[in-house]
């Protein structure tokens, strides 16, 4: 009998919205969710598709399509990133918005979930084209976004500069400066200290707590990290500060291994010049496939979705997997790992540090009063630690894995908000 979240066999594999609905169905069965609440969560509150003619550098006009989806607003304004990718679809954006609703509820920050996407290949756009496209999109969705309504943030292929253009366009249209309309902005226009490092730092805090439940100390633990971008490299740095040894890391090109622990600061410096860490000369080299199967205590996937599959799940030697990336473990692999007793800390908990510090950024913008990095990091650690403890308690009480426990916690929180607010009119 498949458990609640094992829907891979019965749902189309390549439709993320179907996958999200499958997860919702599974949790609904487990907690006897009222049918009208299930229906509410099985529908997105608003899905907007816009078409955007943009003047290209060569004088031609190209029309792009973009989406902004607000999945749920019952716990607060909608929150979620904006991705630029040539394969973005409305169903993908709907699923990502649903997962944002869940993630915000897991860490108990007062937001619903949203996501946005523009179908484009950013590698083929000049900086000027990118700016015109971003500003056009911001204008098209300006009726939908705002600090009390929906607050975009960076995601795949979008960065603080793109957030600055959105903030500026929105502010120009409304006639005054509104820093709280986006998060992940540059610090000099209302961004937060610690936002860039937040997801990786949160991943390390979740790992610390997971090891504690096994009676293990993070000091001296051997950690392997797939992906050395924003999340992976910042997680690596925090692991070292906590006394762990990061023995292997990788990027898209390949991996590095040192049984005595890699010099992460040196690697970050090496990468700064635009070089791939796979070319780093002062460590052994290994492939991404070998990296995932390396003997270690903790494996931290921080690259792409679908990296841990039924084909490699049996060969993974880590006792704990902490999902820095979104969706790195397929449902089938998840089941195999659970059967083997591997503790998996799910993405909706493990990588929630990013949206948590986005929340801090929004609070600081609304108050026009800014915190220092120590304040941000302390509050981030408090929220991640508390969320982990709450999810862990449910997993013990219900005898389920941490992923299902996190879904139960989130959907119970959203249901409570819905029940107390009632139906209008």
When asked if residue 191 is in the footprint of ligand NAD (CB under 6 A), the reply is no
When asked if residue 251 is in the footprint of ligand NAD (CB under 6 A), the reply is yes
76: left (phi over 0), alpha (psi -120 to 50) or beta: left
When asked if residue 226 is in the footprint of ligand NAD (CB under 6 A), the reply is yes
When asked if residue 275 is in the footprint of ligand NAD (CB under 6 A), the reply is no
When asked if residue 192 is in the footprint of ligand NAD (CB under 6 A), the reply is no
Of 66-74, 121-129, 220-228, 370-378: span binding ligand NAD (CB under 6 A): 220-228
Catalytic residue among 7, 94, 115, 185: 115
Of 21-29, 84-92, 209-217, 221-229: span binding ligand NAD (CB under 6 A): 221-229
Distance in Å, CB of 350 to ligand NAD, minimum: 9
| Cβ closest to ligand NAD, residue 25 vs residue 192 | 192
115 in catalytic set = yes
Environment class of residue 284 by beta-carbon count within 10 Å: exposed (0-12), middle (13-18) or buried (19+)?
exposed
| Cβ closest to ligand NAD, residue 238 vs residue 351 | 351
When asked if residue 324 is in the footprint of ligand NAD (CB under 6 A), the reply is yes
When asked if residue 235 is in the footprint of ligand NAD (CB under 6 A), the reply is no
Distance in Å, CB of 358 to ligand NAD, minimum: 8
| Cβ closest to ligand NAD, residue 136 vs residue 184 | 184
Considering only residues 298 through 317, tell me which ones interact with ligand NAD, judged by CB under 6 A: 302-304
When asked if residue 207 is in the footprint of ligand NAD (CB under 6 A), the reply is no
Of 209-217, 226-234, 257-265, 391-399: span binding ligand NAD (CB under 6 A): 226-234
Residue with the closest Cβ to ligand NAD? 229
Distance in Å, CB of 252 to ligand NAD, minimum: 4
| Cβ closest to ligand NAD, residue 73 vs residue 303 | 303
When asked if residue 227 is in the footprint of ligand NAD (CB under 6 A), the reply is yes
Contact footprint for ligand NAD (CB under 6 A): 199, 226-232, 250-252, 288, 302-304, 324-326, 351, 354
């Amino acid at each position: 009998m498949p458990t609640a979240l094992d829907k891979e066999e019965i749902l189309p594999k390549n439709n993320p919205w179907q996958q999200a609905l499958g997860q919702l169905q599974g949790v609904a069965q487990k907690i006897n969710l009222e049918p009208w609440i299930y229906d509410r969560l099985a529908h997105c509150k608003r899905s907007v598709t816009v078409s955007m003619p943009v003047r290209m550098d060569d004088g031609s006009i190209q029309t792009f399509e973009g989406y902004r989806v607000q999945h749920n607003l019952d716990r607060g304004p909608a929150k979620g990133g904006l991705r630029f990718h040539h394969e973005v679809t409305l169903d993908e954006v709907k699923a990502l918005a649903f997962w944002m609703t869940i993630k915000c509820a897991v860490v108990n920050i007062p937001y619903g979930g949203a996501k946005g996407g523009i179908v484009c290949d950013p590698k083929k756009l000049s900086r000027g084209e990118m700016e015109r496209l971003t500003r056009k999109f911001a204008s098209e969705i300006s009726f939908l976004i705002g600090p009390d309504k929906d607050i975009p943030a960076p995601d795949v292929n979008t960065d603080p500069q793109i957030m600055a253009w959105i903030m500026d366009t929105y502010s120009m249209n409304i006639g005054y400066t509104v820093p709280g309309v986006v998060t992940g902005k540059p610090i000099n226009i209302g961004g937060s200290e610690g936002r860039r490092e937040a997801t990786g730092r949160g991943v390390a805090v979740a790992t610390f707590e997971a090891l504690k439940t096994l009676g293990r100390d993070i000091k001296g633990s051997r950690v392997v990290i797939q992906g050395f971008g924003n999340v992976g490299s910042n997680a690596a740095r925090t692991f070292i500060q906590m006394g762990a040894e990061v023995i292997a890391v990788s990027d898209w090109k390949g991996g590095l291994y040192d049984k005595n622990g890699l010099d992460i600061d040196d690697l970050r410096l090496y990468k700064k010049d635009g070089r791939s860490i796979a070319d780093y000369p002062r460590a052994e080299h290994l492939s991404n496939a070998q990296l995932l199967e390396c003997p270690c205590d903790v494996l931290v996937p921080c690259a792409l979705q679908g990296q841990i599959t039924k084909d490699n799940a049996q060969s993974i030697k880590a006792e704990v997997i902490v999902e820095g990336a979104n969706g790195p473990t397929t449902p089938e692999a998840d089941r195999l790992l659970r059967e083997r007793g591997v503790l998996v800390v799910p993405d909706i908990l493990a990588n929630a540090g990013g949206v948590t510090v986005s929340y801090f950024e929004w609070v600081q913008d609304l108050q026009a009063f800014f915190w220092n990095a120590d304040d941000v990091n302390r509050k981030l650690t408090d929220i991640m630690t508390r969320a982990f403890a709450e999810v862990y308690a449910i997993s013990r009480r219900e005898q389920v894995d941490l992923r299902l426990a996190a879904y139960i916690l989130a959907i119970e929180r959203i249901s409570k908000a819905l029940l107390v607010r009632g139906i209008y009119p």
